[in-house]
Amino acid sequence: MTLKMQKLSFLNNQVSIPAKDLTLPAPDQTQLDAILQCAMSAPDHAGLTPFRFLVIQGDALHDLSEVFEKAAILRGLDPQAVLKQKQKPLRSPMIIAVIACINDNPSVPEIEQILCAGAATQHIQIACRQLGFGSIWLTGNNCYDLNVYEALGLDINERIISFIYVGTPCRELKAKDRDNAKKITLDWNSSQHNDFAI
């Protein structure tokens, strides 16, 4: 492997850390600013910046916990499941919610704007790792619950793309065995071409 290719190891070794294994310290303000700035270089068709961030830490994690609890009750969950939802935000010292802000743009369909917010999420995760923090991208029902949207102040054109749980890993980060990309890669050429059914 060439020296240049070795530089890719930080991506090959990228791993998510379970939320319960993330502890204090969370990124400080300077680190957080640097992490979120990395999201601004996510691929972005037409430069719409179709995303924004909510940073939730300290007492606000308890506020989010209450939001998840109330939303779970309104979804009709049983008491045990409600408690599970309530405890979710309390596992890590910081949560960054990435909100997709869907613009009405004739050349950039909704899916592309959502993908852009997803790419922003991934940039945040990689930036966290580079600064020595761990993170995990979690969604679940709270990401699609309009009561949660209202409590978090989302606009009608906005969606929660990710709750990124962030903190310091309380155990050593180990690279995972990953599938070989060759298994899902094809050199396409015209011999694999299917004629259009006209």
Ligand X SMILES: Cc1cc2nc3c(=O)[nH]c(=O)nc-3n(C[C@H](O)[C@H](O)[C@H](O)COP(=O)(O)O)c2cc1C
Q: Which residues bind ligand X (CB under 6 A)?
A: 15-16, 136-140, 176
Q: Measured from the CB of residue 14, what is the shortest distance to ligand X in angstroms?
A: 7
Q: Measured from the CB of residue 164, what is the shortest distance to ligand X in angstroms?
A: 9
Q: Measured from the CB of residue 137, what is the shortest distance to ligand X in angstroms?
A: 4
- The verdict on whether omega for the bond into residue 169 sits within 30 degrees of 0, i.e. cis, is no
Q: Measured from the CB of residue 8, what is the shortest distance to ligand X in angstroms?
A: 16
- Of 57 and 121, which has the nearer Cβ to ligand X? 121
d(CA 140, CA 89): 12
- Of 111 and 186, which has the nearer Cβ to ligand X? 111
CA torsion through residues 30, 15, 160, 113, sign: positive
Q: What are phi and psi of 2, to 5 degrees?
A: -75, 165
188 with 160: CB under 8 angstroms? Answer: no
- Closest CB to ligand X belongs to which residue? 16
Q: Measured from the CB of residue 66, what is the shortest distance to ligand X in angstroms?
A: 20
- Of 19 and 26, which has the nearer Cβ to ligand X? 19
- Of 30 and 136, which has the nearer Cβ to ligand X? 136
Other beta carbons within 10 angstroms of residue 187's beta carbon come to 5
Residue type, 54: L
- Of 49 and 169, which has the nearer Cβ to ligand X? 169
E-strand stretches of the chain: 22-23, 51-57, 94-101, 134-138, 158-169
